[in-house]
A and B are shown apart, each in its own frame.
Chain A
Amino acid sequence: MAETSVAHHDVDEQDENQEMWDGGKSPFRASYGKLMMWYFLLSDAFTFAGFLIAYGSLRFSMPTWPEPDFVFRSFPFVHAHWPLIFVTFMTFVLIFSSVTMVRAVQEGHRENSRGVVFWMLLTILGGATFLGSQAYEWTVLIKEENVSITRNPFGRYLGDGYLVKMDEAGKPMFTESVDPATGRQTLTPQPLMENGEIVQVKEGGSYILHGHEHNGQVELQRPYIHYTTTEKAGKTEQLAEGPKAFGALFFFITGFHGFHVFSGVLFLTIIMINAGSGVYAARRNGYEMVEKIGLYWHFVDLVWVFVFLVFYLL
């Protein structure tokens, strides 16, 4: 008896499977619009993946790369350095707006227009907060730290050593000493002193080159450094800029993501107004438009998970 019922069940399922593809109804049990939104998101995922993989391979091709906890450490209204805290705040803003979006979709399924509008409004506020945060982050990088798509003031020391005192013309200062036995003259760079102590640097440590106005343009000051370890030991050289690709990749990829957030906010606003004015109630399809923009909005959050990973965590 049990066996026959199992067999019967199998036949039923097969029949159902057969009928699903017989035409007349969607075999994926999804509307055209929703399915196409999924495939658009898939193609968009490949676009973002292309950018992030380009970032990864360029980063792998450089001997050094700026450290995220050194680059991203400013917080509005706070003068101390708080590494990664502001981007964590931005991540939470996106998580919250994703959660409110799920609530809007659920209220849509219940045909509750007021609920949809309320939760979508919170989602839009989240998106706008994120965009504002990103504007702050960019402003700090561009205006205060002089990062641009071709200039990266963030670098890493290549060995242990100390900074060298400079004269007014910006040249390093040396002390001359003559070896009495051989008569050979040697030049030792004078260390830069701060609070009575030599300014020491450690291999792998991060630095930022500060900018100064010169003929109406900002130029980066490149102090001299005297290395005492690694193959650079004994050499005195100017600090170099970090890998140029950093700025271009950062602004392009976070900008592309920010543009997605911006268009998301626009579409969310339009759909919220439509939901409030009863356009979707008349369609009687459970506010499917809200569900579709919801998919897009979650995708924006999903991309941020990976942007957060590669730019800020690794």
Chain B
Amino acid sequence: MAEQHQTYEEQKTMVFNGLIRLGIITIIEVLIALLAKGHLIPGVEFKHGFGHYVYMILMAGFSLYKAYFIIYFFMHMAYEVRGMAMTVLMPTLLLVWAIIAFFQEGNYWRTSREHIQLKNEQGREENVLPVPAGKPQGYMLPGTFGHYNS
């Protein structure tokens, strides 16, 4: 049984506080999203480049804060034994690497596709010689790009 760390009145205040906090953050998130996508002020938008990166980091930060608040106060993780909290929270750190690795992979697929498309278009336009028989036909294989350039 969890111990009572707060009085009943304090608990009720915490709930009200949490409602206001999560609500305000959500409203701010949506307002920033509408601003960044150009719906609030005509001509102002952050869809590309540096502004877009700042926007994405800001949104991720707000979401992580909401997650922290829900776990620590609504789910009472702040009042659990430290060891137990760590057995639940630490494994999620593995996801940091999963995110980095898979997003990097996704980015690589896109650049590969663009490269293939570019080479195909070049091949069509320059009407280059067909790949000699006996040579690998797949344009994804390393070393086959040279035929299209020569």
Contacts and interface: CB of A to CB of B under 8 A. Distances in A.
Contacts of A151: none
B99 A30 contact: no
A38 B59 CA distance: 27
A29 B71 CA distance: 18
Contacts of A38: 84, 88
Interface residues of B, number: 51
Q: Could you tell me the dominant secondary structure of chain A's interface residues?
A: helix
Contacts of A54: 102
Interface string B18-49: 11001100110110011001010000000100
A60 B79 CA distance: 39
A95 B92 contact: no
Interface of B: 1-4, 8, 11-12, 15, 18-19, 22-23, 26-27, 29-30, 33-34, 37, 39, 47, 56, 59-60, 63, 66-67, 70-71, 74-75, 80-81, 83-84, 87-88, 91-92, 95, 98-99, 102-103, 105-107, 109-110, 113-114
Interface in A26-66: 27-31, 35, 38-39, 41-42, 45-46, 49-50, 53-54, 56-63
A139 B125 CA distance: 46
A83 B34 contact: yes
Given A61-B110, A69-B34, A301-B70, 20 more contacts: A28-B84, A29-B2, A38-B84, A39-B88, A56-B102, A57-B106, A57-B109, A60-B106, A60-B107, A67-B37, A83-B37, A85-B30, A95-B22, A99-B74, A101-B74, A109-B4, A204-B47, A305-B66, A306-B67, A313-B59
A148 interface: no
A42 B81 CA distance: 17
A85 B40 CA distance: 13
Nearest to A67: B37
A42 B114 CA distance: 38
Counting contact residues on chain A (CB < 8 A from B), the size range is 35 or more
